[in-house]
Amino acid sequence: MAQAIPTKTAPAYLPCQDYQCAASDLVQKMESVLADIKSYDDGEPPASASAKQRATLIINAASQWIKIPMGSIVPFDGGIQIAWRFDDRHVRLFCAATESEESYIYKAVTKNERRTESEMIQFDAVLLAQHLRWAQNL
């Protein structure tokens, strides 16, 4: 059974159909990166179907509220990390290999190469959209 992507109350800004095109581009890039054997360290397991499904679902759900920017995609231990960096603000989406492992959003601020603030955030489409807006100062 697929894990539902929780969403809190929708933010005050309105959905935009064009945003789903950007989400589709990111999902296509994710599929391409994860299909490339060169993306993996020696002996690293491929990203699981479950991790790919959760990443796709949360990205598409978040695209209801924000244009999803292109991110850096890295497989890790059967899961997926998608990272966005805007000046000193960072947002990372971690999709674990299995549903029994924790998937989450991480945000951080760095100053002079040092992390000055960081927080793990619930795996939630609205929160991903809100933190991507925060990272971009929108």
Delimit the domains of the chain by residue range.
Answer: 19-135
Provide the residue type at 79 as one letter: G
Contacts of 61 (CB under 8 A, 6+ apart): 5, 7, 125
- pTM of structure: 0.82
Local structure of 107: helix, strand or coil: strand
Q: What is the pLDDT along the chain (138 residues), one digit of tens a residue?
A: 444 554 444 444 444 445 556 888 999 999 999 999 999 988 999 999 999 999 999 999 999 989 999 999 999 999 999 999 998 999 999 999 999 999 999 999 988 777 778 889 899 999 999 999 999 987
